[in-house]
Amino acid sequence: MAKIQKVAELAGVSTATVSRALSGKSSVSPATRARVEKAAKELGYVVSANASSLASGRTRNVGVVTPFLTSWFYMQVLQGIQHALSDGGYDLTLYHLDPRTGGGHEPGGDERRRRLFAEFLRRKRVDGLIAVSLELDDDELATIRGLGKPVVGIGGPLQGVPTLSIDDEAIARLATDHLIALGHRQIAHIAGHPDFELDFRLPAARRGGYEQGLQAAGIAADPLLVRTADFTIAGGYDATLQLLGDPRVQPTAVFAASDEMAVGAILAARHLGKEVPGDLSVVGIDGHDLASFFSLTTVDQFPQTQGRLAVERLLHVLDGTPTEPAHTALPFDLVVRGSTSRPRAAGNSSR
């Protein structure tokens, strides 16, 4: 393997500049970094991780803590994190911790969580931590501060920690307002089941946004129009079958708290011989890959962007860029497709 001196000679810089460039230091200009990287590639030179760690006091590794590994949304956030860390020259260590609440709580989850903060992080194998949709209590935050490890949170406010999150009430209000603007009055909601409340109470927040939208439009909230599911297609399908089979209600639209549940709602409506959107408009939240395939109107919350922005914030702290602990609102956008339209009773005389 070529030595660092050979790389320096070929790139026309000092060995110190080679070291800074290949370790991702911001003090090296983009042009110089590109020249050094090209020389290193030509010579087959790879920085020793152990040597780099000893020289810099860093592991070039970031820990990511997440409550779920099977959800499309969380996998998209992780993909955004991984891509951004890789671009910055960092590795990723993944910690799976069960959320504090909910019927899906796994045996041993509390012990794994305790060991993460009591043991794993003390081994100093990571330079910083990104917490995805997990509230950290005072003791956990104190442990991290005591280790001098920067933390960035995604999904809700953490005291004294830079955080990035979607306003779940606002995102649900936007979806509901879209249906109201089309003329719908009988709007059902497929909410997340209380057993699936995450640390930041996402299902309750989205139901709250739905109810705020109804109230602002002078529409009385009907508990019979609210059904719960588990954020899956199958769960949304079953909940919508029960909803549409209930003779006490006649919804013309459904707002589902996730795109997967919204897809389930579309499939259930079709199973019962109903047209979407003619008989039933459907809107979801996420920006799921399936949304385009099902022509689903959705509120896109750009999960990969969430992961990338969290990494950018963390790397700024690691590079010494001053960052005040503050909350950053994440972007979202209504994407209108073919699953929503005006209700037939409001303007279509074909029936």
Distance CA 74, CA 196 (A): 14
Do 50 and 143 share a domain, yes or no? no
Do 244 and 282 share a domain, yes or no? yes
Asked if residue 347 has pLDDT above 50, the reply is no
Do 173 and 159 share a domain, yes or no? no
Residue 113 belongs to some domain of the structure: yes
Contacts of 270 by beta carbon, 8 Å cutoff, 6+ apart: 276
- The pLDDT, as a whole number, for residue 21 is 79
Do 104 and 211 share a domain, yes or no? no
Distance CA 288, CA 72 (A): 8
Q: How many domains does the chain have?
A: 3
Residue 235 belongs to some domain of the structure: yes
Residue 326 belongs to some domain of the structure: no
> DSSP string of 268-306?
HHHHTT--TTTT-EEEEEE--HHHHHTT-EEEE--HHHH
Asked if residue 339 has pLDDT above 90, the reply is yes
Q: Which residue has the higher pLDDT, 146 or 234?
A: 234
- The pLDDT, as a whole number, for residue 222 is 96
Do 275 and 342 share a domain, yes or no? yes
Residue 329 belongs to some domain of the structure: no
Question: Judging by DSSP bridges, how do beta strands 327-329 and 297-300 pair with one another?
Answer: unpaired
Tell me: the pLDDT tens digits for 230-284? Answer: 999 999 999 999 999 999 999 999 999 999 999 999 999 999 999 999 999 999 9
Asked if residue 322 has pLDDT above 70, the reply is no
Structural domain harbouring 21: 4-55
Report the CATH number that the domain containing residue 217 is assigned in CATH.
3.40.50.2300
Asked if residue 130 has pLDDT above 80, the reply is yes
Contacts of 343 by beta carbon, 8 Å cutoff, 6+ apart: 182, 183, 184, 252, 253, 281
Distance CA 262, CA 245 (A): 17
Q: Which residue has the higher pLDDT, 346 or 14?
A: 14
- The pLDDT, as a whole number, for residue 198 is 57
Per-residue tokens: 337: 């497709």
Distance CA 164, CA 330 (A): 6
Query: pLDDT band at residue 150, thresholds of 50, 70 and 90?
Result: confident
Question: Could you tell me if 305 and 271 are in contact, meaning their C-beta atoms sit under 8 angstroms apart?
Answer: no
Distance CA 253, CA 308 (A): 34
- The pLDDT, as a whole number, for residue 121 is 66
User: In this predicted structure, which of 10-14, 96-100, 306-310 has the lowest mean pLDDT?
Assistant: 96-100
- The pLDDT, as a whole number, for residue 287 is 95
Do 78 and 138 share a domain, yes or no? yes
Distance CA 150, CA 313 (A): 10
Distance CA 126, CA 149 (A): 8
Do 245 and 288 share a domain, yes or no? yes
Do 85 and 132 share a domain, yes or no? yes
Do 263 and 205 share a domain, yes or no? yes
